[in-house]
């Protein structure tokens, strides 16, 4: 009961924080218009947060009203017979009505004469909006955007002054076949500069990829373990099949902090966690590990042995400086070897899909499109075991026969390569990846066509045979199992590959329902494969974090201004890439998604984490609202610029028709984005 009450209060606090925060972002925008209008001597008739029916309104002399506007004020104005009486009414009741409305999706400031149409309807009141100079009206229109940008700078400055954990641009893995892989980026590299800009974090890398233009090559500088000089590479991001944005194919680094679902004897929860500091095969002296890459080497080398994991148990904090201030307890746990599971279907080996830049395969003479026929004279090997074959031959020559097309004719070429001991099966395989062979530095495609069925296996018992082609797969549910996919995953969409399917089933026992081109659908449950060991052993780790120290105010303000500029410019880049279809619809969200993200941030980190999110949202509101689309502020500014150039107000039709068209466009776009947000949950 206490736990439920605590969760309820946390959710309530997050909801209140979201409502107040989003309302505040809108409020400061409208406040900018309001203050500049007052400064310019414009009569403001209404200041509203939100649209639709009025929930609460207030006007001087009438106090707070619920569910209705202070309409009595109108009768007082109508009864004023002359200027003196009108001035007295304004002094008594105030000229501005303040209201909070039912739909908190914006707000407005209604100024006298702002929405007057023809010249006949325009008032001669010198305090009317249209009677003010163009410069004053430009200041009023731009004031909301300026206020949002100021708030964005304030939030970004706060982030710099606070400091705290950040995700470094350490390469935890490289997706086979992606631009970074082809350029020669390796796990363990750290990106220290992008296009000459230093002070790089992982989020800067992601932003540079997403905002890259078609054909643009980004200049990267990397710090590589064991090398004193920086590695300089130029890489062109591209949008992979099934991806929503361009990328170079880098996965962020992992720490040694164990995530939940830890092996027996190790812990990870809200109050404490274990950090791996050493490991070895059981019975040997534990070897200290400084990072994830050292641990991966041990896990791969001793994958068939029971391992001893030594960990420090302390506070659940990613802040190393804070963790070091408190004593920690050293614990040991044993982790048994873990077998791969499989359906008993040997899939068809496809051609070489990618070769890592500056790799053994590249130096040996492998080419994309080569089809491996045999390894050390053996031609009936399981393609999914190619990584193991190369790892077991580390330091020894491998004889590999490939078939390649030369001058339009197929030729068999013999290659000899000496693989290294790069760890295998320690990185998650992503959806579009081919099968990586780390020891050679190449990746091969695996086709979902069955080449051989192991006798007595689940596939054999289901009467599946060679030549059958898997077209889709999804997880059946049963007590205690996790559903991997809520709907069938097909091999003809979104870049699905068999290596990704194989990786997914290792931690989710199924059973799985498969559909084939020729055979009848079958429900299969993967079984362990004798002698084939999974080095990951079910170990999961939190992402790598580093503590950014708090910055002094001057430095924080300068960096906050820089960050705000980059945020603003990034929105234009996103719009450009959406038009060029370098970004998919999944890369942006509407009010539903914004609310969902806001709730998660508010609940997960409280006010200190929510403020930076509001700053980002405020900058987004500023930029989008200043696009030259009527009836947005940017559209109004466009009209004012045209009026300034023309020397007199624009014709009524020149304003009315674009405004109606812009309003329709904004409403249609809002409905479409809202619909997309809702449908993403189904």
Which residues are the active-site residues? Answer: 30
Q: What spatial distance separates the first Cα and last Cα of the chain, rounded to whole Å? A: 31
Q: What is the C-alpha to C-alpha distance for residues 223 and 221, in angstroms, rounded to an integer?
A: 7
Dihedral, CA of residue 153, residue 154, residue 160 and residue 163, to nearest 10: -140
Give one DSSP letter per residue of 102-144, joined into a string: EEEEEEEEEETTTT--SGGG----TTSGGGS-HHHHHHHHHHH
The SS3 assignment for 101 reads strand
Residue located via tokens 């003196």: 84
Q: What is the C-alpha to C-alpha distance for residues 533 and 300, in angstroms, rounded to an integer?
A: 9
- Two structure tokens written together for 446: 């695996």
User: DSSP label at 551?
Assistant: P
Give one DSSP letter per residue of 380-423, joined into a string: S--GGGHHHHHHHTTTS-EEEEEEEEETTEEEEEEEEE------
Angle formed by the axes of helices 591-625 and 134-162, nearest 10°: 130
The SS3 assignment for 432 reads coil
Q: What is the C-alpha to C-alpha distance for residues 244 and 587, in angstroms, rounded to an integer?
A: 6
- Two structure tokens written together for 144: 């909301």
Cβ-proximal residues to 236 (8 Å cutoff; 6+ apart), any chain: 179, 212, 215, 216, 217, 218
CA 95, 100, 102 angle in degrees (round to 5)? 140
Tell me whether the omega of the peptide bond preceding residue 511 falls within 30 degrees of 0, making it cis.
yes
Neighbours of 411 (CB within 10 A): 10
Q: What is the C-alpha to C-alpha distance for residues 90 and 60, in angstroms, rounded to an integer?
A: 9
Residues in the chain: 682
Q: Cβ distance 17 to 610 under 8 Å? A: yes
**H or E segment to which residue 378 belongs:** none
The SS3 assignment for 483 reads coil
Give one DSSP letter per residue of 561-576, joined into a string: HHHHHHHHHHHHHHHH
Q: What is the C-alpha to C-alpha distance for residues 644 and 659, in angstroms, rounded to an integer?
A: 19
Dihedral, CA of residue 471, residue 474, residue 476 and residue 482, to nearest 10: 150
Sheet holding 231-235, edge to edge: 190-194, 218-223, 231-235
- Two structure tokens written together for 583: 């970004």
- Two structure tokens written together for 94: 């105030």
Neighbours of 648 (CB within 10 A): 7
- Two structure tokens written together for 68: 């209705």
Give me Rg for the CA atoms of the chain. 32
């Amino acid at each position: 009961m206490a736990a439920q009450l605590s969760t309820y209060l946390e959710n309530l606090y997050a909801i209140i924080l979201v409502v107040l925060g989003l309302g505040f972002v809108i409020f400061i925008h409208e406040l900018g218009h309001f203050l500049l209008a007052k400064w310019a001597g414009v009569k403001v008739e209404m200041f509203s947060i939100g649209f639709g029916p009025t929930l609460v309104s207030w006007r001087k002399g009438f106090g707070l009203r619920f569910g209705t506007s202070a309409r009595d004020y109108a009768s007082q104005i109508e009864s004023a017979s002359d200027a003196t009486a009108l001035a007295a009414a304004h002094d008594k009741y105030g000229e501005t009505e303040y209201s909070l409305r039912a739909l908190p999706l914006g707000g407005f400031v209604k100024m006298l004469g702002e929405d007057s149409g023809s010249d006949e309807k325009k008032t001669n009141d010198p305090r009317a909006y249209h009677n003010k100079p163009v410069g004053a009206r430009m200041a009023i229109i731009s004031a909301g955007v300026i206020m949002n940008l100021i708030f964005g700078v304030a939030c970004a400055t706060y982030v710099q002054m606070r400091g705290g954990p950040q995700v470094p641009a350490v390469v935890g893995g490289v997706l086979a076949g992606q631009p970074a892989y082809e350029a020669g980026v390796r796990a363990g590299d750290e990106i220290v500069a992008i296009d000459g800009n230093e002070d790089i974090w992982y989020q800067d890398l992601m932003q540079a990829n997403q905002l890259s233009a078609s054909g643009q090559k980004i200049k990267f500088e990397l710090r590589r373990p064991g090398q004193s000089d920086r590695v300089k590479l130029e890489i062109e991001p591209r949008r992979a099949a099934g991806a929503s944005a361009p990328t170079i194919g880098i996965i962020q680094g992992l720490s040694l902090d164990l995530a939940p679902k830890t092996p027996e004897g190790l812990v990870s929860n809200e109050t404490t966690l274990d950090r791996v500091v050493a490991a070895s095969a059981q019975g040997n002296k534990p070897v200290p590990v400084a990072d994830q890459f050292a641990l991966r080497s041990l896990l791969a080398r001793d994958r068939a042995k029971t391992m001893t994991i030594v960990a420090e148990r302390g506070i659940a904090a990613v802040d190393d400086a804070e963790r070091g201030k408190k004593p920690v307890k050293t614990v040991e746990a044993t982790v048994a070897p873990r077998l791969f599971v499989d359906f008993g279907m040997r899939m068809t080996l496809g051609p070489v899909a990618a070769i890592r830049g500056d790799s053994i395969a590249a130096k040996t003479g492998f080419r994309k499109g080569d089809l491996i026929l045999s390894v050390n004279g053996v031609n009936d090997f399981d393609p999914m075991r190619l990584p193991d074959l190369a790892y077991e031959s580390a330091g020894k020559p491998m004889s590999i026969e490939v078939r390649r097309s030369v001058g339009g004719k197929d030729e068999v070429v013999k290659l000899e390569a000496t693989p290294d001991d790069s760890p295998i099966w320690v990185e998650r395989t992503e959806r579009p990846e081919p099968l990586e062979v780390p020891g050679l530095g190449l990746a091969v495609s695996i086709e979902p066509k069955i080449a051989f069925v192991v006798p007595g296996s689940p596939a054999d018992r289901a009467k599946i045979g060679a030549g059958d082609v898997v077209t889709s797969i999804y997880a059946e549910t049963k007590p205690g199992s996790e559903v991997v996919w809520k709907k069938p995953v097909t091999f003809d969409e979104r870049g699905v590959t068999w290596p990704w399917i194989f990786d997914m089933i290792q931690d989710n026992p199924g059973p799985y329902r498969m559909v084939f081109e020729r055979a009848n659908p079958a429900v299969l449950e993967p079984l362990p494969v004798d002698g084939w060991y999974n080095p990951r052993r079910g170990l999961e780790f939190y992402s790598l974090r580093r503590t950014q120290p708090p910055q002094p105010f001057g430095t924080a303000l300068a960096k906050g201004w820089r960050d705000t500029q980059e945020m603003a410019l990034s929105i234009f880049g996103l719009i450009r890439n959406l038009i060029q279809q370098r970004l998919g619809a999944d890369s942006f969200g509407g009010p539903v998604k914004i609310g969902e993200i806001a709730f998660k941030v508010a609940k997960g980190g409280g006010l200190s984490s929510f403020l930076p999110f509001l700053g980002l949202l405020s900058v987004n509101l500023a930029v989008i609202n200043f696009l030259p689309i009527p009836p947005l502020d940017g559209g109004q500014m466009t009209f004012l610029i045209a009026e300034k150039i023309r020397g007199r107000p624009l014709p009524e039709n020149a304003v009315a028709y674009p405004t109606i068209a812009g309003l329709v466009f904004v409403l249609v776009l809002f409905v479409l984005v809202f619909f997309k947000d809702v449908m993403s949950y189904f």
